[in-house]
Amino acid sequence: MAEAPDTLAVAFELNGAPVEATVEPQTPLIDMLRERFGLTGTKRSCDVQVCGACTVLLDGAPVSSCTVPAFEARGRAVLTVEGFAADDASSPLVEAFVNNAAFQCGFCTPGMLLAAKSLLDADPAPSEETIKDYMRGNVCRCTGYKKIVEAVQEAAEAGR
Amino acid sequence: MKPFRLHEPTDVHEAASALADAGGGAALYAGGTELLLAMKSGLLAYDTLINVKSIPGLDAVSADGDTVVIGASATHSAVECDPLVRKRMPLLAEVEHGVANLRVRNVGTLAGNLCFAEPHSDPATLLLVYEAGLDIAGPSGTRRITVGDLQTGSYETSLEPDELLIAVRVPALPAGMCAAYSKFGYHHRPTLGIAAALGVKDGVVTEARLALGCVSPVAQRLSRAEDVLRGERVDTLTEGASALREASRLASEDADAVEDMHGGVDYKEHLVRVFMERTLLRALARNGGGDG
Amino acid sequence: MTTREFKTVGTAVRRVDADDKLSGRAQFTGDLQVPGMAFCKLVTSPLPHARITRVDASRARALSGVYAVLTSAELVNMETHYGSDKKDRPVIAIDKVRFQGEPVAAVAAIDLATAEAAVELVDVEYEELPTVTGIDEALDPSGEPVHESNVCHEYGYEWGDVDAAFRECDRVFEDTFEFPMVYHYAMEPHTCIVSYEPDRIRLWTSAQHPFLVQAEIARLFGRQLDQVQVVVPFVGGGYGSKSYTKIEPLVTALSREAGRPVRLALSVDEAMRTVRRHAARGTIRTGVMNDGTIVARECTGYVDTGGYTDNGVRVTERFGDRMPGPYSMANVRVKTRGLFTNSTPAGSYRSIGGPQAIWACESQIDVIAHALGMDPFEFRVKNLVREGEEVRRGRRPIEGDLEYALRRVADEFGWNSWRPGPTPPGVKRGIGFACGVTNSGASPTSTSLVRFHADGSATVYIGSAEMGQGSRSVMAQIAAEELRIPYGKVRVVASDTTAVPWDRSTGSSRSTTLMGLAVHDAAIDIRQQLLDLAAEHFEAFPEEIEAEDGRASFKGESVAFAALVRNMFGGSGGELMGRGYVTPKHASGKLRQDTVFWEVSIGAAEGEVDTATGEVRLLRYYSISDPGKAINPKQVEGQDEGAAMQAIGHTFFEEMLYEDGQLLNPNLVDYRVPVFTDLPHEFETVLIESGNGPGPYGAKGVGEGGIVCVAPSVANAIFNATGVRISTLPLTPERVWRALHEAGQEAG
């Protein structure tokens, strides 16, 4: 049996580009993104997978980067808010967030946008109930949620 | 979090050996949604995590006759969205959808949820009424236990230190059974979970499977309440029916509720009464329509 | 002369921070890298109340990669205590700890992992003291007090002949209401970087009041104001949690010790041991006549300020100010006390003392209305203060017509036509109402500077911190409007004490009103200069010049503002500067009177009670917001909705649970905040623009009103549905069920 290594090479696709990093097993994904790649759009808040501020998409699926280890990215695709925003396809959702005042302090917003993107990828015409249910794991302490629901609805309509 | 080493076995035997070699210094890692939180907060510390996901094939969800076999590294989302699960056991899909939040479901595994033995688990309660079996691998081979044999206490299981759960075997409910699941609570984790499955033949309840979770450290079947329902005519089991009341009362009596942040013992016992009757009525409303 | 139409004021413009915040580029304090920065971890007290008998950091200091360890022994050549009203908070615990989680030592190391390892090596010994948990224990004189005594502050006022009024009235009601400790959960936990240098101290911090932090740090470390730079990047939510000074003194002292910049980023667990809202108990005696006239109110109350004063003095006072309610009463007596306990120090939280006071006030108003057989809405209307009347004797009279506002909400909600409709067995529906006014604006002191550039664009300099409320956009709107240039031509520089002029604070709903006035005046200062230049250009009088859309015109000819500025400086470049000072003397002394403005709050709720489980669902909630003039209507709604949603938290489930001084739920798994699925089906803000605020265009603040009426209107709806009165928050299913059970009103 080979001795388990103390560091791991992580080769993955980050916002569409192939990248590599060496991490320790206990390094959470968020630390690799923020500290190795300088992608500080991903925010740490509750640190217990409740609030969603650290949401990134791993092969298109939302995960809590505060807890998912960095090594889980091996061979997979990670999308952060920076990659999302750089993609023209994001503009209906971004504009809907602007038009509906769906952000205030902006700390939850990166995670909120990625959760909303993942919802609209899965269901381009979600009902209000579906939006609330899908997004219930993303906390916003500023807006009161109503305007985010309206923004997602508007983006869904714009995408049709 | 304290540093740990990652061991990535390529088969089950290697994983079991690694567990045995570590002598308690290693833990199995699948989704890590519970384990890593406990390690981050310092409640648990391990030198080595053994990555179950590196074992090929363990993420599969497959059919074995009428039984759906869920591999140890299948996530809640994978189970929820699996076509086989949706078709044969929609109630399992529904309950999996209600677990924590989307991000936890995308990472956390059903098997890991059972093995972590956190007392507020919806699947642990539901699988009791499916009478699910668990395939446990150890250095000397594989054994099969029922899901009810797994959890022995709060965060405690009957697994030996060198054993790992490799598959959850969920038999579809027999034809003619109807089922429902209720959860209640306002905290992040549920305060109460009740599963009910009733077999009906010729208008009479022939089989009753009732399970209760979250109010006590270990989810349990409620045999006294089940006994009351067997032999009852379905058309008499309407709201307020004495058999429903009696079953709910016995469920409450047998709840073993403990006081915690979710509520006092008397309140939890009361909730068991209320939700047992509601769950039975919801299951009965699905009579003839399968389990979902 | 016809009234000029607004070009950007009153419009939901694209926020100036939209692109930053929707791309991940927005920088919060934790996103900054300062060269040479060390990382801090805290050693905190596991005990809520104890004497520190020994702190030995020698093993930690010996660890490779550790730069410094701060303990109370290092607090030399500096002031040791800070605080906004009472300087009772030590920079780091000295001799005694007063709450679980109080920092006892702080490590600065090369990285976080090393700092975490070093924390384990700091040896602290304690002599445990009896714990003071909650208001009752604080009032018990037998235990060891938290400070010299457990009384932090006492407050009171009185008018009329209260005792005589109680003797002479028809009926007297007395009720007591309890409000829990709650936590702001600003999603960005407090974060601070400090670089202590020989000739200056630089801080980057998540603070709402950069200039108050500057003054506090200058005082503690014996520096001039100009030697202390406080930069506040985007703040990830404040709601009061980042007001005054929090972790900045500790990090500054540690940076001094380490000889390099130090960063401390708190976890949520640590932030919950940094600040919270005051728990409160309010007892109200009310004397009424049988016709429903309130003749006297006597309000007695306590607030639990925890281990240190923080904002306990003001909260004690505002709790007292706000408890009698917006009713016309000839006889009032108020006495409130702030008490120390062994728990997280309590500070500002959105409408300080407001939700606690109005929870008591408005719950009791319903109790009385019911006892008198009056509609609770009409009972309120009958007793309301009228426009221009004093809510509080000697303070600014209320601006705005409260009765109109109440009737608007009732109409839109459908109060009079409401029927419960069919419900499943055991489920009961009800409606409830609440109203309140809160004295807001803090201190009427702000300044602003505007630079008008040679290409016709402008930069606005403000001290306000941007914490989500959108102040930068509002200030850009005001500046653009008054400069007569497009909104897109204005940039805002904010909250860097070396770059922007002084402002008191960002809180108390004050920025649009007071900083707004300063920006308004600074922009007009420039416009006047432009008009003077244009008058010179056209050889006309300034008052004959029209200014619009970046150009000055006279008799069909026009010239760009930019050209006027360039010409003034000889053609190549140059700029104009405008200044705005807001002081108590502003507008002929109108701001001098106590209470800058009254913020109106009204709530109407429809709730559904499952009497078998005690679960309450909020089906509909209507709130009012009167911004005087809505400079950005979407942002006004956002303030109101956000405040109301936070209130849904403290109404239904938020509560910091303490047992023997130990916080039981210091994380988001066990401390439940509202999520998407808590959003009621109807969640509406009724916008009224009464145009009578002291701010620009008649504007006034709206950040806090939405938070105060949810709890009482929901409890009143529960009473309406079930006949059961619940006087303690939060209204958890278990609490509601117990109340129903006791009253014999549960189903099943």
For residue range C484-507, what is the model confidence (pLDDT) as tens digits? 999 999 999 999 999 999 999 999
The pTM score is: 0.97
- Count Cβ atoms below 10 Å from residue B288 Cβ, excluding itself: 9
- Least confident range of A41-45, C508-512, C556-560, C721-725: C508-512
Within 13 A of A155's CA, how many CA atoms are on the CB side?
31
The burial class, CB within 10 Å (0-12 / 13-18 / 19+), for B203 is exposed
Do A52 and B103 make contact, defined as CB atoms within 8 angstroms? yes
* Interface contact C667, partner A, CB < 8 A: yes
pLDDT digits (tens, 9 = 90+) for C226-282: 999 999 999 999 999 999 999 999 999 999 999 999 999 999 999 999 999 999 999
Which phi-psi region, left, alpha or beta, contains residue B176 (left: φ > 0; alpha: ψ -120 to 50)? left
pLDDT for C746 equals 80
Nearest-CA distance from B138 to chain C in Å?
Answer: 34
Q: Do B107 and A64 touch (CB under 8 A)?
A: yes
Which chain B residues contact residue C113 at CB under 8 A?
3
CB atoms within 10 A of CB B45: 12
Question: Cβ contacts (< 8 Å) between B261 and chain C: which residues?
Answer: 657, 664-665, 670
Cβ-defined contact of A64 to B7 (cutoff 8 Å): no
- ipTM score of complex: 0.97
A1 contacts in B (CB within 8 Å)? 14, 17-18, 21
d(CA A26, CA B82): 31
Which candidate in C654, C655, C734, C736 is best for mutational testing of the B interface (most B CBs within 10 A)? C734
Q: Is there a contact between C268 and A136 if contact means CB atoms under 8 Å apart? A: no
Q: B214 to chain C, minimum CA–CA distance in Å?
A: 15
- The answer to whether A64 contacts B104, with C-beta atoms less than 8 Å apart, is yes
Across C555-640, the runs of DSSP E, i.e. the strands, are 557-560, 575-582, 597-610, 615-625
How distant, in Å, are the alpha carbons of B210, C239, C414 from that of C303? Answer: 48, 19, 36
Give residue C629's Cα distance to chain centre. 21
Select from C22, C27, C31 the Cβ nearest to the Cβ of A103.
C22
B257 in any annotated domain: yes
Q: Is B288 on the interface with A (CB under 8 A)?
A: no
Yes or no: is domain A8-80 CATH 3.10.20.30? yes
Q: What is the pLDDT of residue B290?
A: 60
Which residues of chain A fall below pLDDT 50? 1-4
pLDDT at residue A4, rounded to an integer: 45
Chain B positions contacting chain C at CB under 8 Å are 3, 184, 186-189, 239, 261, 263-264, 267, 270-271, 273-275, 277
- What is the reported pLDDT for A2? 40
Question: Which tens digits make up the pLDDT trace of C620-665?
Answer: 999 999 999 999 999 999 999 999 999 999 999 999 999 999 999 9
**Residue carrying the six token digits 């205030």:** A104
Q: Minimum mean pLDDT among B3-7, B107-111, C438-442, C671-675: which range? A: C438-442
Indicate yes or no: CB of A52 within 8 angstroms of CB of B37: no
For C193, how many CA atoms within 13 A lie in the half-sphere containing its CB?
A: 18
Q: Can you tell me whether residue C13 is helix, strand or coil?
A: coil
Q: Shortest Cα distance from C39 to chain B (angstroms)?
A: 15
Contact C576, C583 (CB under 8 A): no
Q: Band the pLDDT of C748: cuts 50, 70, 90.
A: low
Say whether both B166 and B95 belong to one domain.
Answer: yes
Please state the rounded mean pLDDT for residues C695-724.
97
CA separation for the pair C505, C230 (Å, rounded): 13
In the predicted model, is pLDDT for residue C162 greater than 70?
Answer: yes
CB-based contact B188 C615, cutoff 8 Å: no
* Minimum distance, in Å, between the CA of residue B10 and any CA atom of chain A: 11
Which residues pair with residue A40 across a beta bridge? none
Q: Where in chain A is the domain with CATH 1.10.150.120?
A: 84-159
Domain boundary among the residues B145, B171, B197 is at: B171
**B36 assigned to some structural domain:** yes
Q: Considering the domain boundaries, does residue B290 fall inside one?
A: no
Mutate to test the interface with C, among B2, B104, B215, B271 (most CBs of C within 10 A): B271
Determine the straight-line distance between the first and last CA of chain C, rounded to whole angstroms. Answer: 72
Asked if A143 and C28 come within 8 Å (Cβ–Cβ), the reply is: no
Q: State whether A104 and C235 contact (CB < 8 Å).
A: no
**Domains in chain B, number:** 3
For the annotated catalytic residues of C, the residue numbers are 704
Neighbours of chain A (3+ CB pairs under 8 A): B, C
A26 touches chain B (CB under 8 A): yes
Q: Which residues pair with B156 in a beta bridge?
A: B153
The CATH number for B19's domain is 3.30.43.10
Cβ contact, residue pair C187, A108, below 8 Å: yes
- Residue C593, pLDDT above cutoff 80: no
- Two tokens, residue A113: 């946008």
Domain span including residue B49: 5-54
Q: What is the pLDDT of residues B169-223, one digit of tens each?
A: 999 999 989 999 999 999 999 999 999 999 999 999 999 999 999 999 999 999 9
Q: Looking at the partner chain, which of C612, C665, C738 has a beta carbon nearest the beta carbon of B261?
A: C665
Smallest Cα–Cα separation from C284: which of C742, C710, C712? C712
- Same-domain status, B41 and B70: no
Q: List CB contacts (< 8 A) between A137 and chain B.
A: 100-104
Res. B289 pLDDT band, cuts 50 70 90:
low
Answer with the one of B171, B186, B212 that is the final residue of a domain: B171
Mean pLDDT of C192-198: 97
SS3 B240: coil
Whole-number Å distance between alpha carbons of C600 and C584 = 23
Domains and CATH numbers, chain C: 18-26+443-589 (3.30.365.10), 34-129+188-236+241-271 (3.90.1170.50), 352-441+595-743 (3.30.365.10)
In this structure, the answer to whether residues B202 and B167 fall within a common structural domain is no
Residues B250 and B160 occupy one common structural domain: no
Supply the CATH number for residue B140's domain: 3.30.465.10
Asked if residue B126 and residue B42 are part of one domain, the reply reads no
Minimum-distance CB partner of B5 among A1, A4, A52 = A4
| Secondary structure of C251-312 as H, E, C letters | HHHHHHHHCCCEEEECCHHHHCCCCECCEEEEEEEEEECCCCCEEEEEEEEEEEEECCCCCH
> What tokens appear for C323 in the block?
């408890």
**Residue ranges of chain A that CATH labels 3.10.20.30:** 8-80
List the single best residue of B75, B80, B102 to mutate versus A (max A Cβ within 10 A). B102
Report, as an integer, the average pLDDT of B12-37: 95
Inside any domain, residue B216: yes
Q: Which of residues 3-62 of B touch A (CB under 8 A)?
A: 3-8, 14, 17-18, 21, 32-33, 36-37, 39-40, 48-49
How many cross-chain Cβ pairs, B to C, lie less than 8 Å apart? 37
**Residue B92 contacts residue B197 (beta carbons within 8 Å):** no
Give pLDDT, residue C595: 83
Asked if the Cβ–Cβ distance from A49 to B49 is below 8 Å, we say no
CA distance C202 to C225: 11
Give B229: exposed, middle or buried? Use CB within 10 Å, 0-12, 13-18, 19+: buried
> Does the pLDDT at position B291 exceed 90?
no
Residue B250: CATH number of its domain: 3.30.390.50
In chain B, % of residues over pLDDT 70: 99
Question: What would the pLDDT profile of A116-125 be if each residue is shown by its tens digit?
Answer: 999 999 999 9
In chain A, which among 54-73 make CB contacts under 8 A with chain C? none
- The residue ranges of DSSP E strands in C486-593, in sequence order, are 490-494, 546-548, 551-554, 557-560, 575-582
- Would you say A118 and B105 are in contact if contact means Cβ atoms under 8 Å apart? no
Residues of B in contact with A118 (CB under 8 A): 102
Give the distance from residue C44's alpha carbon to the nearest chain A alpha carbon, in angstroms.
Answer: 19
Give chains near B: 3+ CB pairs under 8 A: A, C
Q: Is B291 inside a domain boundary?
A: no
User: Which residue of chain B has the CA closest to C612?
Assistant: B274
CATH code, A84-159: 1.10.150.120
pLDDT tens digits for C451-491? Answer: 999 999 999 999 999 999 999 999 999 999 999 999 999 99
Which one of A8, A67, A119 would you mutate to disrupt binding with B, by most B Cβ within 10 Å of its Cβ?
Answer: A67
List the 618-647 stretch of C: residues with Cβ below 8 A of A: 634-635, 637-638, 641-646
- pLDDT at res. C591: 81
Q: Report chain C residues whose CB lies below 8 A from the CB of A145.
A: 641, 645, 674-676, 678-679
Contacts of C669 in chain A (CB under 8 A): 48, 50
